[in-house]
């Protein structure tokens, strides 16, 4: 090989190496733009919600576990239970969780009870305000039955759910955990009930597992107005 050819070979080799380096840098810069990398960095928000409480025993167990993990959730409580367990409602509020309205008697809205349903919402709001000193603007209508006109009339926002693991009819903790974790995605709202020991255990496991996967637990207001 003469000198010219050697020089030419070296130049081609250097050019190829430079090309490989440039492609490598471009690919690296492309990475955060797509896929889960960006989501993970930003923290995928997800909300745990608990209906029908507070429960005289299980709610406090749940509060303890949530405090240990520094996680905030949302409780949709009935007016009847607010009056029965005001000290637990006070604890929920003091721990920084969000409180929402779940009617006074856990009543399902129908075409025949529009007015009394509205009164239940108002009565529950008053009971919550009496205990926490704060108004709530979030309502989870039992069974998801709602009348859009109430939003303006009562100045309340309905909060439904995207994941329902049917925790109330299962005594299998790992089944509930798997059901939620397999489906969990950014901005999901998980429906649970702090009325059972299995729910408390499953909920805390869900928190641990999804936190490990890069999820950040928030109260529902953060998902609705973000
Ligand atoms: Zn309910």
Distance CA 190, CA 49 (A): 6
| pLDDT tier for residue 22 given thresholds of 50, 70 and 90 | low
What DSSP line would sit under the chain, residue for residue? --HHHHHHHHHHHHHHHHHHHHHHHHHHHHGGGSTHHHHHHH-EEEEEEEES---TTHHHHHHHHHHHHT---EEEE-HHHHHH-HHHHHHHHHTT-EEEE--SS-PPP-TT-HHHHHHHHHHHHHHHHHHHS----EE--GGG---THHHHHHT-EE---SB---GGG---HHHHHHHHHHH--TT-EEEEETTSHHHHHHHHHHHHHHHHTTEEE--HHHHH--
- Provide the pLDDT for residue 13: 67
Q: Is 120 in contact with 114 (CB distance < 8 Å)?
A: no
- The answer to whether 47 and 188 have CB atoms below 8 angstroms apart is yes
Evaluate if residue 171 carries a pLDDT over 70. Answer: yes
Give per-residue pLDDT as tens, 110-136. 999 999 999 999 999 999 999 999 999
**Which one is catalytic: 55, 97, 102, 193?**
193
The structure tokens 């509930």 sit at: 176
- Residue 46: pLDDT over 80: yes
pLDDT tens digits, residue range 175-206? 999 999 999 999 999 999 999 999 999 999 99
Q: Domains of the chain (ranges plus CATH)? A: 37-224 (3.20.20.370)
- Ligand 1 centre from 44 Cα, in Å? 27
Spatial contact of 43 and 212, defined as CB atoms under 8 Å apart: no
Of the residues 51, 52, 188, 194, only one is catalytic, namely 51
What pLDDT score does 222 carry?
A: 96
Average pLDDT, the chain: 89
Q: Quick check: is 194 catalytic? A: no
Q: Which two tokens stand for residue 180?
A: 């939620």
Please say if 172 is a catalytic residue. Answer: no
Tens digit of each residue's pLDDT (9 = 90 or more) over 48-76? 999 999 999 999 999 999 999 999 999 99
21 pLDDT higher than 90: no
| Protein residues near ligand 1, an ion, with CB under 5 A | 51-52, 142
Of residues 102, 53, 117, the one with CA closest to residue 81? 53
Does residue 26 register a pLDDT over 70?
no
């Amino acid at each position: 090989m003469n000198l010219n050819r050697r020089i030419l070979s070296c130049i081609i080799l250097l050019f190829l190496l430079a090309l490989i380096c440039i492609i490598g840098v471009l690919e690296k810069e492309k990475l955060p733009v797509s896929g889960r990398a960006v989501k993970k960095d930003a923290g995928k928000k997800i909300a745990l919600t608990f209906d029908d409480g507070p429960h005289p025993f299980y709610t406090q167990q749940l509060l303890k576990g949530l405090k240990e993990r520094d996680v905030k959730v949302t409780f949709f409580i009935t007016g009847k239970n607010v009056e029965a367990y005001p000290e637990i409602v006070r604890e929920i509020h003091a721990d920084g969780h969000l409180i929402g309205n779940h009617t006074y008697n856990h009543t399902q809205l129908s075409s025949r009870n529009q007015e009394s349903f509205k009164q239940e919402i108002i009565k529950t709001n008053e009971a919550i305000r009496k205990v926490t000193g704060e108004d709530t603007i979030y309502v989870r209508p039992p069974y998801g039955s709602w009348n859009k006109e109430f939003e303006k009339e009562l100045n309340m926002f309905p909060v439904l759910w995207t994941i329902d693991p049917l925790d109330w009819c299962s005594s299998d903790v790992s089944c509930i955990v798997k059901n939620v974790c397999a489906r969990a995605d950014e901005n999901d709202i998980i429906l649970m009930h702090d009325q059972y020991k299995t729910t408390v255990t499953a909920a805390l496991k869900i928190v641990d597992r999804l936190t490990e996967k890069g999820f950040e637990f928030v109260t529902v207001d953060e998902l609705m107005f973000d």
